[in-house]
Structure 1
Amino acid sequence: MSAPKQLAGKRIAVLAADGFEKAELAAPVAALREAGADVVIVGLHAGRIRGMDVQQAAELVAVDLEMSQARAPDFDGLLIPGGYISPDLLRQSAQARDLVRHMDALGKPIAVLSQAPLLLASSGLVTNRTLTSWPGVRDDMVNAGAIWLNEEVVRDLNWLSSRSAEDVPALVRAMIPFFEGQSEAGATVRRAQSDPQRQEPSETPGQPLRWLATPSVGAMLSLALLGIGVVASNRVRRQKQAMPAEPEPPPAQ
């Protein structure tokens, strides 16, 4: 008889919006399900959300539960993938902020990746907490009162944070025992000061842009002609709207 899976009976919410980083959702979700967890994708709206592979569009993912229906007591943990767009959309949602605050108040484990700590900051939760994030939002975390560490994975009480998509394997290794409820035996040692900001930006986000095809002259001309056509069409429509209506002919005697 096989041993029970580590996260059997655990219900984990994955909070994401359009523009989530594909690798930061797909790999952790697969690992959670393999460990026996019931994974629920929570989105700002019903339907599907679009992932991103850095700056390129990736697959659509079905939303299991709308944000308006998500309740913190119904879940045993929360995972928030990063990305350049998703965390920014989530931090603007009062319902998302309320859900995160409630999960934290209940002491539920919360795992965040790359830019996802922006939601924690907008929820007013990062003061005096230790975490990591995508280096590009390091100053946002520090200015919000957090201690920021330049490490693959940081554990602080009921929070587990990871720096980037490149650190997902380390996050996955730490995530299963974290959601299982194991103690902080391997937690990050708290420090008095944050690690410094990087001196040079990472080349990883910009690398795909170097390989995008250069538009051909024909494509550029087609776009220009399309733009001219749209402008001309709008001008004609405005002119017609500005013209006085023709008087109706008198009724026949």
Structure 2
Amino acid sequence: MNPELNGMRVAILVTDGFEQVELTEPKRMLEQEGAVTTLVSDRYDEVQGMHHDKPGDRFPVELLLREADAHAFDAVLLPGGKVNAAKLRDIPEAQGFVQTIQEDGKPIAVICHGGWLLVSAGLVEGRTMTSVPALEQDIRNAGGNWVDEEVVVDGNMISSRTPEDIPAFNSKMVEVIAERMRANLRGTADENAVGIASS
């Protein structure tokens, strides 16, 4: 199999308390398809994963949020976990990061409680998405259209509800990021063609 995402840079935004499988399984799929992932957090050194309400593993932080340049990434992954999402949504640098990704039209992959950050960042108005059911009212109150489906794609946004949806989430995430890569390549080819024609 030829990896579809060769060289694409994907930021994974988390802080302590994220649902571990919602990081590890999408991360594995992204890297299997050739993407380069970077764990971005407000925490130094390591962040704590969770298996629902039980502590999981600790993961090394590769880049601090306050030092991260969203323009340097091709997409962002937002794992869930209630504690993680509740903390992350109140961090201005996290809000600014996803706002920049949105302004650039880059893919945003979000699962479970991860949608809270998008609500706080003002990015769900007019968008159709899903999440863990506990976020339904927050998303609707923010002007979003919440639906109960395993995976929803609305433009550059891919969303899913729970860990049970990860296979469908991973598939759509790779599909949308790969399309972004192909669009970038087409854009570069068009620019080169214009340059040759005008020389």
Q: TM-score, normalised by structure 2?
A: 0.88
**Equivalent residue for 2:47?**
49
Q: Deviations over 1:14-69 (max 9, x none)?
A: 00110000110010000111111100000112210000000000000111100011
**Equivalent residue for 1:133?**
131
Matched, 1:80 2:71: no
Instruction: Provide the aligned length of Structure 1 versus Structure 2.
Output: 181
**Equivalent residue for 1:190?**
none
**Equivalent residue for 2:66?**
68
Q: Distance in 2 between matches of 1:107 and 1:171?
A: 19
| Structure 1 unmatched ranges of 5 or more | 184-253
Identical residues among aligned pairs (%): 38
Structure 1 segments, 4+ long, off by >6 Å, are none
Q: Distance in 1 between matches of 2:24 and 2:158?
A: 18
**Equivalent residue for 1:92?**
90
Match of 2:179 among 178, 181, 188: 181
Q: Distance in 1 between matches of 2:14 and 2:72?
A: 17
Change over 3 Å in CA distance of 1:182–1:67 after alignment to 2: closer
Q: Distance in 1 between matches of 2:46 and 2:34?
A: 24
One-letter code of the match for 2:152?
A: V
* 1:116 alignment partner, SS class: helix
* Alignment of structure 1 residues 88-237 onto 2, 5 Å: 88-181=86-179
Q: Determine which structure has more spread, i.e. the larger CA radius of gyration.
A: 1
| Structure 2 unmatched ranges of 5 or more | 182-199
Q: Distance in 2 between matches of 1:133 and 1:117?
A: 7
User: Residue 182 of structure 1: CA displacement?
Assistant: 5.9
Q: TM-score, normalised by structure 1?
A: 0.70
